[in-house]
Each structure stands twice: as structure tokens, then as C-alpha cells.
Chain A
Amino acid sequence: MNGKRHFLKSLAALALSASALNAWAADITGAGATFPFPIYAKWAEAYKAASGVGLNYQSIGSSGGIRQIRAKTVTFGATDAPLKGDELDKDGLIQFPAIIGGTVPVINLDGFKPGELRITGTVLADIYLGVIKNWNDPQLVALNPGKNLPNQAITVVHRADGSGTTFNFTDYLSTVSKTWAEKVGKNAAVKWPADTSVGGKGNEGVAANVNRVKGAIGYVEYAYVKKNNMNFLQMQNADGKYVSPDDLTFAAAAAGADWFAVPGMGISMVNAKGATAWPISTASFILMYKEPGDKAASQNALKFFDWAFKNGRKMAEELDYVPLPDALTQQIRQRVWSQIKH
């Protein structure tokens, strides 16, 4: 009995002393979208090296981010499905964009190079509606003359969790396909109509599922595509031209954006005009409280984003995200961050 008591006592002492070693602890917690997770994590790594403050970002999906900020369990929430102005006012939140990226359809088909095959918005909608079930469907063959599309069933991959990426993807499908708009609509979580529709958790889950299943098609943020060398499709934009995804085509889509047209800056950039614009470009937003409970953490979070806006451009471009232009970040500081009472 005595030996056990000594052991337990020393364990307790160890635990107490360990909790006193707060030097390495992260002060800022954020949660939400998986869309910007690669760039937020990169920024967090660099920020920690530069300032010693850690940012613990948990990518649980945009709906998760909205939920957790409303439950006040995190310092900021991240979402690609922006909240509307009246929702923001009701909860006492401010919203601002932090980064711009693009959602890309990816496939798993042997024998084709990344970006070799093409697709249009209406055909993509038909695949996700379950109308087109096979890769050698005449509509797909017509778009890709000369390519030998195999006789293989299409496995449609969607997001199993509530996702801003889904929100933007369905926003795009609703814009280009009336059937989709009527039948399914746009939201962070929808009723996926295709029979074979399989769910993955987070952008990571969708990418992993597409990689694993032959004949699969999914939609992921471009950083995931690039890092894993996935096979993506060229898309036809509003101007009728076929474009490949990269930070230039995303930036082209964001070029004409009027950010303050909508309260809360939650504008939509899908199917944007421009010869080189990528049709499913989106911004990812941050939600914070106007009157935060933990003022120190809130201030630290703003310091982090300030640092990221100034020093994070190169890291963003390496991952093919589009950093916000300086003029915009200045306006964000003056018009949005000023609303937070510290």
C-alpha cells in the first residue's frame, strides 16, 4: 500500500509541476474550415518561431467553426460559408476574409495526367445529381475528344461534415445548373442525390477517398490537390474559356470583387467574369466577438492575423492561395477590427 501511495504522490507532483510549465502552451485557439487549414497551419508554425505564441487551429469544418465560436469555446472561428449581416449582429460577431483560394474537382482515373481532362459546370452538376453514372458517358466524351475514357462507374465523393467548401461548391452548381438549384440548393450540408455518393471528413477525407477509389470524383481546395499531386479537371468559366487552377486564376476571379457591398464582407466569387478566372474561387472568413470574453486571447489573435497579412504572402503563394491585397487588409483593420472592444 505504501509503495503505491508514494507512487501516486509523485505522479500528482509531476502533473502539478507540468501544468506550471506553461511556457510552451498555445494561447489562441481557433477552429473551423479545412479549406484554409494548410495555410493557417503554415502561418501558425512560422508565427510560433517568430513570436513564441502558438495558435492551435483545429480543422473541424466550417459548420464546426461557426458552432464553436457561438459556444465560445474558441478564440476565433473560421468558415468559408460566410454568415449574413443580420446573423453576425445577432451573435455580436465580426467577420473578415483572411485568404482566397479555389475549389477544384479532382478525379481518380488511370492513364490521364493532371489537368488533361475537361469539364463544364452543367456536366459536373449532372454527375453530382447522379444523372451521369459512368466515365464514358457521351457528354463527357464530347467534352474530351480523342481521350480514351474508360467504362467505369463514377463514385461521387462529398463532404460528410458541414463544410464551407461544400457551400461554395454547391453555390457554383446552383449558379450553373437550374436542376441543381431546384433539387438540392446551396448550403454547408446538403442532401447529396447521387446513389453512390460517399462521404469524407474534411477536405483531407475527400482527398483521401478520391485517392483510394478508382473512378472517383470529388471537390477539394487546391492546396490539397497540389500537395498530393492529384488529378484535377480543367473547368470552363463564365467567359467560356477552359482554365486550370492556380493562384493566378483564383486572383483573376477575385479581381473585381466589391468586398464591402455585403454587410459582413461575405460576397460570393463563384462563376466570376474574366477570361482567366477560375469558376470556383472563394474567400475564407474569420469570425470573432465584438466583445470577447478573453480579451488577451482576442488581441493575440488579431496580432497573429496582422502578422500573417504582412509576412505571410510568400507562404500563401507557395501553396497557391491568394493573399489579400494590402489595400484590402488596410480597410479590414480600419473598418472591421476597430469594432472589437478590447
Chain B
Amino acid sequence: MTPSSPLYRRRRLTNWIGLGLSMTAMALGLAVLFWILYVLFANGFAALEWSMFTHDTPAPGSEGGGLRNAIVGSLMIVGLTVLVSTPIGILAGVYLCEYGDESRTAALTRFVTDLMLSAPSIVLGLFVYAIAVATVGRFSGYAGSLALSLIAIPVVMRTTENMLRLVPGSLREAAFALGAPRWKVASMVTLRAARSGVMTGLLLAIARISGETAPLLFTALNNQFFSTRMDSPMANLPVVIFQFAMSPYDNWVRLAWAGALLITLTVLGLNIVARVFFRDRSPR
């Protein structure tokens, strides 16, 4: 086939058109995404001030103000979630990897975990309201943590199991050959070998729950004052952003952008740390 034959020219044209369209699509898609980030950074950094960390959320119409109570509240709620989700998620992940091949419920559990990974988070908020708020009679940081745990535990479970499976079988077999009991092999050999991957999973889970708003709407509610009591409504960044962004007050809107920037930087930072951490010491 010579380069100038009509079939060849047609194929080359199709190629150019197809790739050209893809390039345009890519340029368009990436442009939009970077535009969104640019808007966030521009508005967020413009609103960022030191007073944000020393003042609490302002009343409507009051000047200035900050996000201190929301930041502390979020830290506490996320902190409790991590405390709760880490052991449960890791141990469940260990079960799925070590005993999963022998158990019938394991396959079902894996399937269910994947479903809960993508379940709409607002429905989880409804569930936690029904069992932890309405029954007790008050909104609380505990209920907020419970809702976030329902999101975090499946993430930790899945990454733990995947990381444990990557550990070479020879390591396990060597440990068994030395006479170690099964639980020691699982915890002190396999888990230790996969620990950087498991940490990655934890960081990704934290990043995921830091930005969730819907599950906190009806569980932790919000609080305009500084409070460290987890058994009553707690201020938290996502709900504060939601409330302030839709309001007509300028200082509230500015605080909303600053808060949004804080959350995004945290999430991106955690993701980047997880990647760097993982890449250095993956058991390959």
C-alpha cells in the first residue's frame, strides 16, 4: 500500500480526527479541573488569615471571626473516627486475607465492603441519626464519628487486605517453618511487612472522611461556640462551609472559601504523603 492511496489517506485522516478529538476532550477536561482548583486557591488564599485559627465562627452580621471551633471540632471527630476505625478495619482486613480463603462469608464480606465504599454518604447519616441521635435525644460528636467510621472502615479493610496479599508467600512459609503460631505469623510477620501499605490505606481513609459533609449534617450538627464536649453538637468544618457558603454575608463567604481551601490542602497533602510513603517501601 503506497502512502498516497485513498484507503491509507482515509485511515490517516480518521486517526488525526480521532486523536484530535481526544486531545480536545483532554484539554477541555483538564482545563476545567485546573480552573476549579485555581478558583479555590485564589479565593481561599485571599481569605486566609491567622485570625482564622484564633477566633470562633462569627454570628450572622458580626464582623471578622474565624474557624477555630470548626477546625478543632473536625480534628476531634476525625481523630475519634481514626481511633475506632483503625483497629476494626485492620483486624477485619487481616481476617479477610489470612482466613478468607477458607470462609464462605469472606467473599460476601468483601462484596459488601466494596458496596459500602461507594454508598451514598447521606443515607449513612440517616441511619446514624436513627440509632444514635433520636434514641439518645441529642446530637453529638460521637454520632458524627460513628457516621464517618461507617465510611472509613471499608476503606481501611480493603487496603489492608490488598496490601497483606501482596506480601510474598515465602515470608509466611518461612515463619511457619520456624514453628510460629498462626496469629504470630499474621501480626508480627505479614502485617509488619505490609505496614507501609496499611498506613497508606489509613491516610487515604482519613483523606476521604475529612471532606465528607452529608453524614455530619444530622449527626454532629454544628455549634457556633468553641466546645470540646463530644456528647453534644460539635462545630465541624464541612457543615460550617455548607452553612456559610449559601449565606449572603461577605465574611461568612470568605470564611467558607478559607475552610474549603484548608480541607482540600489536608486531603491533597494526605494523598501525596500516602503516595510518597508507599512508593518508597512497597514490598515488590
Q: What distance in Å separates the Cβ of B75 from its nearest Cβ neighbour in chain A?
A: 10
In B224-243, the 8 Å CB interface with A consists of 224-230, 232-233, 243
Contact A8 B227 (CB under 8 A): no
Contact B248 A204 (CB under 8 A): yes
Q: How far is the CA of A202 from the CA of B248 in the complex (A)?
A: 11
A257 interface hit (Cβ, 8 Å): no
- Give the secondary structure class of B's interface: loop
Looking at the complex, which one of B60, B191, B222 makes contact with A41 (CB distance below 8 Å)?
A: B60
Query: Taking the complex as formed, is A205 at the interface, i.e. its CB lies under 8 A from any CB of chain B?
Result: yes
What range describes how many residues of A lie at the interface? 35 or more
Which 5 A-B pairs rank lowest in CB-CB distance, beginning with the nearest?
Answer: A41-B59, A204-B247, A207-B248, A18-B228, A54-B225
Give the residue name and chain of the B residue nearest to A204 (CB).
B247
Let me know if A11 is at the binding interface, CB within 8 A: yes
Residues of B71-101 contacting chain A, CB below 8 A: 76, 79-80, 82-83, 86
> In this assembly, does B221 line the interface, its C-beta being within 8 Å of a C-beta of chain A?
yes
- Of A25, A37, A42, A54, the most chain B CB neighbours within 10 A belong to A25
Please report the C-alpha to C-alpha distance between residue A118 and residue B53 in the assembled complex, in whole angstroms.
46
Whether, in the assembled complex, B3 has its beta carbon less than 8 Å from a beta carbon of chain A, the answer is: no
Enumerate chain B residues within 8 angstroms of A201, measured Cβ to Cβ.
246
Known: A15-B79, A204-B243. 6 other contacts (CB 8 A): A8-B86, A25-B227, A41-B59, A41-B60, A56-B223, A56-B233
Which of B137, B223, B246, B248 is close to A26, meaning CB atoms less than 8 Å apart?
B223
Assess whether A299 is interfacial by the CB under 8 Å rule: no
Contacts of A44 in B (CB 8 A): 59, 224
- B residues bordering A, Cβ < 8 Å? 59-62, 76, 79-80, 82-83, 86, 133-134, 137-139, 187, 191-192, 195, 221-230, 232-233, 243, 246-249
User: Is B60 touching A37 in the complex (CB atoms < 8 A)?
Assistant: yes
**For A11, what are the chain B residues with a Cβ–Cβ distance below 8 Å?**
79, 82-83
Q: Which residues of B contact A45 (CB under 8 A)?
A: 59, 62
Q: How far is the CA of A58 from the CA of B224 in the complex (A)?
A: 8
A–B pairs, 20, beta carbons within 8 Å: A12-B83, A19-B228, A22-B229, A29-B232, A41-B60, A42-B61, A44-B59, A56-B225, A56-B227, A56-B233, A58-B223, A71-B134, A72-B137, A204-B247, A204-B249, A207-B247, A208-B248, A227-B60, A227-B61, A227-B249
Are B227 and A24 interface neighbours, CB within 8 A?
yes
User: Is A319 an interface position by the 8 A CB rule?
Assistant: yes
Which residue of chain A has the shortest Cβ distance to B139 in the bound complex?
A73
Mark interface residues in A219-258 (1 if CB within 8 Å of B CB, else 0): 0000110011010000000000000000000000000000
Q: Determine if B233 and A58 form an interchain contact, defined as CB atoms under 8 angstroms apart.
A: yes
Chain A residues 27-52 with CB under 8 Å of chain B are 29, 37-38, 41-42, 44-45, 48
Cβ-defined contact, B137 with A24, below 8 A? no
Shortest Cβ gap from A163 to chain B (Å): 15
* B243 CB contacts on chain A under 8 angstroms: 204
Inter-chain CA distance A29–B86, complex, in Å, is 32
Q: In the complex, which residues of chain A have a beta carbon less than 8 angstroms from the beta carbon of B233?
A: 29, 56, 58
From residue A297, how far is it (CB to closest CB) to chain B in Å?
10
- What is the CA–CA distance of A44 and B57 in the complex, to the nearest angstrom? 13
**In A288-308, which residues have CB < 8 Å from any B CB?**
293
- Take A11-B79, A71-B134, A227-B60 as given contacts and tell me if A208 and B227 are in contact as well, using a CB distance cutoff of 8 Å: no
Is A135's CB within 8 Å of the partner chain B?
A: no
Residues of B within 8 A of A22 (CB): 228-229
**Judging by beta carbons under 8 Å apart, are A211 and B248 in contact?**
yes
A1 within 8 Å of B (CB atoms): yes
Which of B137, B224, B228 is close to A57, meaning CB atoms less than 8 Å apart? B224
The verdict on A38 contacting B76 (CB below 8 Å), with A44-B224, A58-B222 known, is no
Whether A261 is near chain B, meaning CB under 8 Å from some CB there, is no
